[in-house]
Amino acid sequence: MNIKVIAFDADDTLWVNEPYFRASEERFCELLGEYASQHELERELFKIEIENLALYGYGIKGFVLSMIETALKVSGNTITPDIIEKITDLGKQMLNQPIEILDGVEQVLQAVKDKYRVVVATKGDLLDQERKLKRSGLGDYFHHIEIMSEKDDANYLKLLKHLDIKPEEFLMIGNSLKSDILPVLNIGGHGVHVPYHITWAHEQIEDSIDNERFRSVERITEILNYL
């Protein structure tokens, strides 16, 4: 491998994220428990979130709006304002959540920072991701932060152009096969999958990947064996 740039996904790769969404979703289901079962509420919320993705993009603010929309729908527009307040409070709690850096991350960043250009490539809300990076204390490791509306082939190609490197010089590390790995392999880059124990349904894929530029590791520190 002739890698020049290593890009890290942020949520559930550098720090904990998905469990906070799941916890808020659970709390949301409790709030709306008189209108529908947990299963029905989760299904409806997921459907509305996906429908809204193109409008709101990824992140907590869109999630809050989708929770309110779901609450109105399942209650036939009868929820009281205090439920809406509780939903917006859930969102604010998520936005103010302390950053919990995942095991091994600092060790890896420390080991690669002088040998490679190290960047972050993440989806989500610009302000929220910038704030998380700042609060994580990891900001100084990175040469560049790319906040992408969608992690698809075209946006990765744009990133490579910005970094002025060839696809084979790019290595992406992340927890989502769908967003962090498949598009990068598609454009000729390298991908290392570091699974996280919870994955949002929207990020799950059925296929297994067979590609010489792909590896899966159990712990992020195993990446150091290949660099």
**Interaction site with Mg ion (CB under 5 A):** 9, 11-12, 175
- Interatomic CA distance for residues 206 and 214, integer angstroms: 16
SS3 category, 117: strand
Please report how close the Cβ of residue 25 comes to Mg ion at its closest, in angstroms. Answer: 17
Closer CB to Mg ion, 9 or 25, in the complex: 9
Burial classification of residue 186, based on how many CB atoms lie within 10 Å of its CB (0-12 exposed, 13-18 middle, 19 or more buried): middle
Closer CB to Mg ion, 10 or 83, in the complex: 10
Closest CA to 10 of 165, 164, 176, 211: 176
- Interatomic CA distance for residues 17 and 6, integer angstroms: 21
Phi/psi at 42 (5° precision) = -65, -40
Closer CB to Mg ion, 11 or 44, in the complex: 11
Closer CB to Mg ion, 40 or 50, in the complex: 50
Please report how close the Cβ of residue 220 comes to Mg ion at its closest, in angstroms. Answer: 12
Please report how close the Cβ of residue 175 comes to Mg ion at its closest, in angstroms. Answer: 5
Extract the tokens encoding 44. 């409806």
Please report how close the Cβ of residue 192 comes to Mg ion at its closest, in angstroms. Answer: 13
